[in-house]
């Protein structure tokens, strides 16, 4: 039975990936800063959660030993330049050195659409630098690499559409920065499937794959749909007020000072300076034999659990 190390395996994509690889009979090691974070995957028989600091190179080397492949899902959405550099650039550098030291060649890396050296946001620039580290190592023959670049990822436990649905349950209107930015949302199950297939399809070696869904929406349209599918305002959702860039920038700056993880940061807003859709320069999920699911087919099935549909289902169950 093959063994794989999954960095970031307790996160949104990681949880779904572990379930997919469990069905494929991969034995998985999932490091985490605190074992409590691994509750969502530790019940899977083939998952071994370990408390470890993957940013410690010696620990990373020890984790990699004895594995056939490694998948890097580690990413942060908020922070300063130093934090982005540590998560998105320094970790891939350490990963290459550790993989060489213990003889692990197969590396899968999840990057992001819009990851370019001249991008407006720290997130996208750091993602580009980290991807370049791995692609340079692959070009030098040090690792066998596949890179996945997803658009915004949706799913039943996402923090994207669910967040917008919850906010519309609280607010009468939705003031929205970056309202016109376009996205091609991709289902988390399709992302997990793409990674699983890349592990066994030799055609994926050396490839950059853009993981996008079949539908393109503006951010404003996504927010309206989230509210409508959740049954907010009798299925109409709340009105969306697009904010001018300067006002959106001010809104994001204020949100950064609120307690907890910000709903929107100035760097998030900067990342929306360009559309988050396929570039046409790289293969998409179809190259891996995947027909991506449409948001319009999946979104209502989980956001609708909050709306009138769920109340009707409850009444039906009582009658039955």
Is 26 a member of any domain? yes
Residue 275 lies in a domain: no
Report yes or no on 52 lying in a domain.
Answer: yes
- Taking only the tens place, the pLDDT of each residue in 263-299 is 888 999 999 989 999 999 999 999 999 999 999 999 9
Establish if 244 belongs to a structural domain.
no
Give the pLDDT band (50/70/90) at residue 257.
confident
Ranges assigned E (strand) in 73-136: 106-110
139 lies in some domain: yes
Question: Which residues are within 8 A (CB) of 71 and not within 5 positions of it... i.e. 6 or more apart?
Answer: 4, 5, 6, 7, 9, 17, 107, 108, 109, 110, 195
**Which residues lie closer than 8 Å to 94 by C-beta, 6 or more apart?**
55, 57, 60
pLDDT digits (tens, 9 = 90+) for 166-188: 999 999 999 999 999 999 999 99
**CA 3 from centroid of its chain's CA atoms:** 23
Total domain count, the chain = 1
CATH number, position 106: 3.40.50.720
* Residues of the domain holding 12: 3-150
Query: Do 251 and 264 meet the contact criterion of CB atoms below 8 Å apart?
Result: yes
Question: Is 188 in contact with 15 (CB distance < 8 Å)?
Answer: no
In a domain, 304, yes or no: no
pLDDT band at 318 (very low <50, low <70, confident <90, very high): very low
Mean pLDDT (whole number) for 252-261 = 83
Whether residue 28 has pLDDT greater than 80: yes
Q: Is residue 119 part of a domain?
A: yes
Q: Is residue 87 part of a domain?
A: yes
């Amino acid at each position: 039975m093959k063994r794989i190390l999954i960095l970031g395996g307790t996160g949104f994509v990681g949880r779904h990936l572990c379930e997919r690889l469990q069905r494929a009979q991969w034995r998985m090691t999932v490091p985490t800063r605190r074992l409590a974070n691994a509750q969502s995957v530790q019940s899977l028989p083939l998952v071994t959660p370990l408390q470890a600091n993957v940013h410690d190179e010696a620990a990373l080397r020890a984790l990699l030993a004895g594995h056939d492949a490694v998948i890097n899902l580690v990413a942060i959405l908020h922070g300063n330049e130093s934090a982005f550099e540590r998560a998105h650039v320094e970790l891939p550098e350490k990963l290459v050195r550790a993989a060489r030291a213990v003889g692990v060649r197969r590396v899968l890396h999840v990057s992001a659409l819009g990851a370019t050296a001249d991008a407006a946001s720290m997130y996208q620039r750091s993602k580009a630098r980290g991807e370049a580290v791995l692609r340079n190592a692959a070009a030098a023959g040090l690792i066998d690499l596949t890179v996945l670049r997803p658009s915004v990822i949706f799913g039943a436990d996402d923090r994207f559409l669910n967040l917008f649905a919850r906010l519309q349950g609280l607010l009468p209107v939705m003031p929205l920065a970056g309202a016109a930015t376009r996205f091609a949302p991709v289902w988390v199950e399709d992302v997990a499937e793409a990674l699983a297939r890349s592990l066994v399809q030799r055609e994926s070696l050396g490839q950059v794959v853009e993981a996008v869904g079949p539908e393109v929406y503006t951010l404003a349209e996504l927010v309206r749909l989230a509210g409508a599918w959740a049954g907010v305002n009798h299925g109409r959702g709340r009105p969306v007020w697009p904010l001018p860039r300067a006002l959106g920038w001010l809104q994001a700056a204020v949100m950064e000072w609120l307690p907890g993880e910000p709903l929107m940061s100035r760097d998030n807003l900067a990342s929306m300076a360009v559309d988050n859709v396929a570039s046409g320069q790289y293969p998409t999920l179809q190259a891996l034999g995947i027909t991506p699911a449409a948001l319009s087919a999946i979104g209502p099935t989980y956001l609708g659990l909050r709306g009138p549909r769920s109340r009707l289902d409850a009444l039906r169950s009582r009658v039955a």
